[in-house]
């Protein structure tokens, strides 16, 4: 029983570390703000959630401490990370950061026209 | 919905007062009995029996987690591919959702789905501007996923 639990905890910690590593690779490697934002806001979210879940399971099963703060932290990260990604992308666009050359479409430049027509 | 939950709590308290035992088990028994009473009286309420909505919310949460894991596998593939051969782009997505919290929830869901990120919302809250990491081969698929999300959210708010 404890053996299986140890493997599950190890899996969560390793998966979280791996995802965080890949997220930082993505930030280095991808070409523009928006695609980097994809890597940072998705992989980092799940990576940190996995690490926190592993920590929670370790303290609960091995030491018998039920730490509800860690669970709250998982919920808070789950709720706030996409909002953070959205706000960074929006601020970048409105301050004029350029899309990558190979981008095929940009509907957002029509937003002001659309707003004027429908307000 | 909130009214039905409040009524259920009040019925549970009435049960505790009737049986003169103020413990958690008697509260739970009273809550379950009140649930049965509300289920029997559901035709007098203007909206649906609230338990179905709770189930819809739980299934939405499970959908959320599934999409988060799928999104990560997708991003992993994109990053670790030796050649950067994807074609990003921003497309406009028209939503049928009306209330503010529904649009917020949809935007969060889209941000955590494979390869999409919400950039901006138009002033009248009808159009979401979504940045997709690989646009050409995904447009139809993304729309499909989106419709399933919108349906799930409507299922909760209906």
Residue A13, min C-alpha distance to chain B (Å): 16
- In chain B, what is the straight-line distance between the N-terminal and C-terminal CA atoms, in Å? 10
Tell me the pLDDT tens digit for each residue of B43-76. 888 888 888 888 888 988 888 888 888 878 877 8
Q: How far apart are CA A62 and CA A109, in angstroms?
A: 55
CB of B112 within 8 A of CB of B64?
Answer: yes
Tell me the pLDDT tens digit for each residue of A72-85. 999 898 888 888 88
Q: How far apart are CA B118 and CA B92, in angstroms?
A: 10
In which band, very low, low, confident or very high, does the pLDDT at A14 lie, cut at 50, 70 and 90?
very high
> Which residue of A lies nearest to B91 if distances are taken between CA atoms?
A107
A43 contacts on B by Cβ (under 8 Å)? 72, 75-76, 79
Domain ranges of chain B: 1-44, 50-157
Ramachandran area for residue B92 (φ above 0: left; ψ -120 to 50: alpha; else beta): beta
Domain ranges of chain A: 1-118
Residue A66: partners with Cβ closer than 8 Å, 6 or more residues away: A60
pLDDT at B2 over 90: no
A104 contacts on B by Cβ (under 8 Å)? 87-89, 135-136
- For chain A, the maximum distance between any two Cα atoms, rounded to a whole number of angstroms, is 64
pLDDT at B146 over 80: no
- Tell me the three state secondary structure of residue B89: strand
Q: Is B71 on the interface with A (CB under 8 A)?
A: yes
Q: How far apart are CA A22 and CA B115, in angstroms?
A: 15
User: Residue B62 burial (CB < 10 Å; 0-12/13-18/19+)?
Assistant: exposed
pLDDT at B37 over 80: yes
Residue B80: partners with Cβ closer than 8 Å, 6 or more residues away: A22, A25
In which band, very low, low, confident or very high, does the pLDDT at B31 lie, cut at 50, 70 and 90?
very high
Ramachandran area for residue B114 (φ above 0: left; ψ -120 to 50: alpha; else beta): beta
CB of B119 within 8 A of CB of A89?
Answer: yes
CB atoms within 10 A of CB B152: 20
Residue range A94-115: average pLDDT?
Answer: 69
Q: Of A15 and B78, which is predicted with more confidence?
A: A15
A102 contacts on B by Cβ (under 8 Å)? 87-88
Tell me the pLDDT tens digit for each residue of B90-136. 777 777 778 888 888 888 888 887 778 888 887 777 778 888 877 76
| A105 closest CB neighbour out of B69, B79, B135 | B135
The stretches of B41-138 forming alpha helices (DSSP H) are 50-80, 100-111
A35 contacts on B by Cβ (under 8 Å)? 86, 88, 133
Residue B31: partners with Cβ closer than 8 Å, 6 or more residues away: B8, B9, B11, B12
């Amino acid at each position: 029983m404890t053996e299986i639990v140890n493997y599950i905890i190890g899996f969560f910690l390793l998966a979280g570390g791996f995802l965080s590593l890949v997220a930082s690779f993505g930030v280095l490697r991808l070409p523009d703000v928006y695609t980097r934002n994809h890597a940072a806001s998705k992989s980092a979210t799940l990576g940190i959630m996995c690490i926190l879940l592993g920590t929670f399971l370790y303290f609960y099963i091995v030491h018998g401490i039920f730490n509800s703060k860690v669970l709250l932290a998982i919920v808070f990260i789950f709720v706030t990370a996409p909002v953070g990604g959205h706000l960074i992308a929006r601020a970048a666009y409105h301050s004029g950061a350029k899309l990558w050359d190979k981008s095929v479409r940009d509907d957002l430049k029509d937003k002001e026209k659309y707003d004027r027509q429908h307000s | 919905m909130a009214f039905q939950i409040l009524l259920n709590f009040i019925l549970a308290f009435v049960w505790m007062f009737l049986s003169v035992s103020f413990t958690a088990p008697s509260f739970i028994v009273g809550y379950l009995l009140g649930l049965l009473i509300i289920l029997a009286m559901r035709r007098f309420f203007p909206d649906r029996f609230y338990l179905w909505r709770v189930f819809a919310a739980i299934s939405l949460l499970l959908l959320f987690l599934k999409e988060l894991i799928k999104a990560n596998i997708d991003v992993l593939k994109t990053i670790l591919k030796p050649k950067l051969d994807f074609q990003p782009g921003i497309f406009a997505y028209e939503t049928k959702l009306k209330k503010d919290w529904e649009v917020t929830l949809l935007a969060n869901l889209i941000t955590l789905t494979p390869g999409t990120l919400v950039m901006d919302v138009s002033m009248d809250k009808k159009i979401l501007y979504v940045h997709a990491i690989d646009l050409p081969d995904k447009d139809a698929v993304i729309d499909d996923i989106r419709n399933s999300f919108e349906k799930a959210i409507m299922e909760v708010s209906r």
